[in-house]
Amino acid sequence: AQSVAQPEDQVNVAEGNPLTVKCTYSVSGNPYLFWYVQYPNRGLQFLLKYITGDNLVKGSYGFEAEFNKSQTSFHLKKPSALVSDSALYFCAVRGRRNFSGGYNKLIFGAGTRLAVHP
């Protein structure tokens, strides 16, 4: 079964320090990988995605993520955290195709709450 794991319910970081939000996946083949951020009572905002090529993907608001095929991981990172980065972060994966030829579903992790302290 396909799944996405975000092992940390919450990550606490001091402002200005680097942050990492972890994500591992279990999906057959080479999936597409995404990160989304959700602020309170809002929908999800797209941060970045990995399709192919360079393992380091740069996205919005200074975030980046590193794809590691051998470890099936796609950790989200930022060199210097801001208080305004405090939010709920979701990792998501989608397989490249299904047997019917249609789009695969986007599978979300449980989410990690990032708290950046001044």
Partner 1 sequence: GAVVSQHPSWVICKSGTSVKIECRSLDFQATTMFWYRQFPKQSLMLMATSNEGSKATYEQGVEKDKFLINHASLTLSTLTVTSAHPEDSSFYICSARAGGTGGHNEQFFGPGTRLTVL
Decide whether 81 or 91 has the Cβ nearer to partner 1. 91
Spatial separation of the C-alpha atoms in residues 22 and 91, rounded to whole Å: 9
- The 3-state DSSP class for residue 57 equals strand
Residues near partner 1 (CB under 8 A) are 32, 34, 36, 41-46, 49, 51, 90, 94-97, 103-106, 108-111
Nearer to partner 1, 45 or 68 (CB): 45
Alpha-carbon distances, residue 9 vs 42, 72, 87, 103 (angstroms): 19, 19, 12, 29
Least spacing, CB of residue 40 vs partner 1, in Å: 10
Smallest gap from Cβ 16 to partner 1, in A, equals 28
> Could you give the CA distance from residue 20 to residue 110 in angstroms, rounded to a whole number?
16
Helix, strand, or coil (residue 84): helix
Q: Smallest distance, Å, CB 26 to partner 1?
A: 16
- Based on CB atoms, which residue is closest to partner 1, 78 or 94? 94
Residues in the chain, total: 118
Q: Tell me whether residue 82 or residue 106 sits nearer to partner 1 (CB atom).
A: 106
Locus of tokens 């009572």: 41
CB of 84 to partner 1, least distance (A): 18
